[in-house]
Amino acid sequence: MPPKPWKTLSSREIYKNPWTRVREDIAEMPNGKTTIYGVIECGQCVGVLPFLDDDHVVMVRQYRYVFEENHRWEMPTGGVKSGEALEAAACRELREEVGYDAAELQHVSTYFTSKSIVQEIGHLYLGRRLAQVEAVPDDTEFLEVAIFPFEQVLQMVLDSEIRDSMTVITVLHAARLRDQ
């Protein structure tokens, strides 16, 4: 039998910006006791692993403020805008970050990026049949783009050199699909 749900007794916004909303809830647990529960709402996000051909992918790296590092490669990712279709968001992020359009998007996974306090849903794709276009990054994006053999990217995932969950999951799905 599944665990009983908690009941939200009250909720108040603590902070909000264009990308994130933080709220504090008072929740009643199944045993009748209450607890404070902090929730970070980020909405939905997309990521695309772009394949130039069967053996090469386009990767990006940028300074990641939270971890104070700029040396890890990842696939193009980003948030879904209000009212935007998931595939349209994936195509937009691919175009903005690495300067490619994908004629084919293959959905490989939808998952919760964190299961406890962050409310964010990730949608992951493989991009194929790429056409180069002008990259127009967001005002906060300062990017380096490079092409890698897929096997090298897979090894970077296996060695924990790539740590971004969206990239890790997508690369492992891509490897699984290649083996089929």
- Residue 70's pLDDT is 85
Q: Which fold would CATH assign to domain 44-109+120-179?
A: Nucleoside Triphosphate Pyrophosphohydrolase (3.90.79)
Signed CA dihedral, 119, 137, 157, 72: sign only: negative
For residue 127, which of 163, 162, 92, 168 has the smallest C-alpha distance?
A: 92
Q: Which two tokens stand for residue 15?
A: 């902070």
| Per-residue pLDDT tens digits for 14-31 | 999 988 999 999 999 999
Do the bridges between strand 34-53 and strand 118-132 make them parallel or antiparallel, or are there none, so unpaired? parallel
* Distance (Å, whole) CA 39 – CA 93: 26
| Per-residue pLDDT tens digits for 95-126 | 999 999 999 999 999 999 998 899 999 999 99
- Residue 71's pLDDT is 87
Ordered by start, the domain boundaries in the chain are 44-109+120-179
pTM given for the model: 0.92
- For the chain, how far is it from start to end, CA to CA, in angstroms? 36
